[in-house]
Amino acid sequence: MIIGVLKEIKVAENRVCMTPAGVEVLREHGHEVLVETHAGVSSGFSDTDYVNAGATIAATAEEVYLRAEMVMHVKEPQPSEYALIRKGQIVFTYFHFAASEELTRAMLDSGAVCIAYETIVGADGSLPLLTPMSEVAGRMAAQEAAKYAERTQGGRGILLGGVPGVQPATVLVLGGGTVGTHAAQMVCGLGAKVYLLDTSLDRLRHL
C-alpha cells in the first residue's frame, strides 16, 4: 500500500502524524510511504530524516492525495482539501465528526473510507490513539493554568507552588479521567493544593 503523510495546515497545529521511526516500521512490512515536504519540521523531523527512514518526499499535498491509497493527518481535513479526497481512498486521522456537520457531509460526499483515530479500540477496551493526546492535554492544562495565574497574563499573580511564607495555590480539577488525572498530577508536582471532583465514586477511590 502507498501511505501518504500530510503536513498539517490547521491553524496552530504543529504535530505530525508519523515519525521517521513509523516510516521504518511500515517499510519493513512492505508499504511505500510518501511524505509531504516539511511535514515533520514543526515536530523536529527534517525531510532528510524521513528519506533516511525509507520515505519518498512529495512536493505538494496534491501529489500525496493523488498517489496515496491511504492518507494520514493529525487533525481533520480542512475545506481546501475536500476536493482532493477521492472515492475509496482511506483517510486516517482524528475526525471528531460530531463537532462538524460540514466535515461529515464532505466526507460522505467524497466516498472515502474514513477511519477516526479516536474510535480505535484496543483488545482491552482502551483507546490507544486517544489516550496519549488526553495525557498531553492534561499536562498542558496545568502549564496553561500556571501561566494565566501570572499578573502579566491578567491573573492574580499566584505561584502554584508558593514559596516559604506564601501559601501555594488551591487548584480545582473537574473530572478524574485521563485529562483530569494528568492535570492533577502536574499541579501536585508543582506544589499546589489540589482538589479533584468526579461523579464516579469508584474513580475517586482509585485515584
> Which of 127, 61, 122, 129 has its CA nearest to residue 93?
129
pLDDT at residue number 159? 94
pLDDT at residue number 95? 97
Q: How far apart are CA 22 and CA 97, in angstroms?
A: 26
Percentage of the residues of the chain whose pLDDT score is greater than 90: 100
pLDDT at residue number 181? 97
pLDDT at residue number 43? 97
Q: State the pairing for strand pair 113-116/90-93.
A: parallel
Q: State pLDDT tens for residues 150-167.
A: 999 999 999 999 999 999
Average pLDDT over residues 183-193: 96
pLDDT at residue number 57? 98
pLDDT at residue number 134? 95
CATH number of this structure's domain 135-206: 3.40.50.720
Q: State pLDDT tens for residues 8-30.
A: 999 999 999 999 999 999 999 99
Average pLDDT over residues 48-76: 98
- Topology agreement, domain 2-119 and domain 135-206: yes
- Output 23-31 pairs: Cβ under 8 A, ≥24 positions apart: 23/50, 23/53, 23/54, 23/55, 24/53, 24/54, 27/53, 27/54, 27/55, 31/1, 31/2, 31/3
* Domain chopping of the chain, boundaries: 2-119, 135-206
If one counts every other C-beta atom within 10 angstroms of the C-beta of residue 50, the result is 27
CB-neighbour burial class of residue 184 (10 A; exposed 0-12, middle 13-18, buried 19+): buried
Percentage of the residues of the chain whose pLDDT score is greater than 70: 100
Q: State pLDDT tens for residues 90-136.
A: 999 999 999 999 999 999 999 999 999 999 999 999 999 999 999 99
> Which of 152, 147, 146, 149 has its CA nearest to residue 187?
146
pLDDT at residue number 176? 96
Cα four-point dihedral sign 94, 97, 101, 103: positive
CATH number of this structure's domain 2-119: 3.40.50.720
pLDDT at residue number 49? 98
> Which of 33, 28, 32, 23 has its CA nearest to residue 53?
23
pLDDT at residue number 167? 93
- Whole-prediction pTM value? 0.84
pLDDT at residue number 129? 94
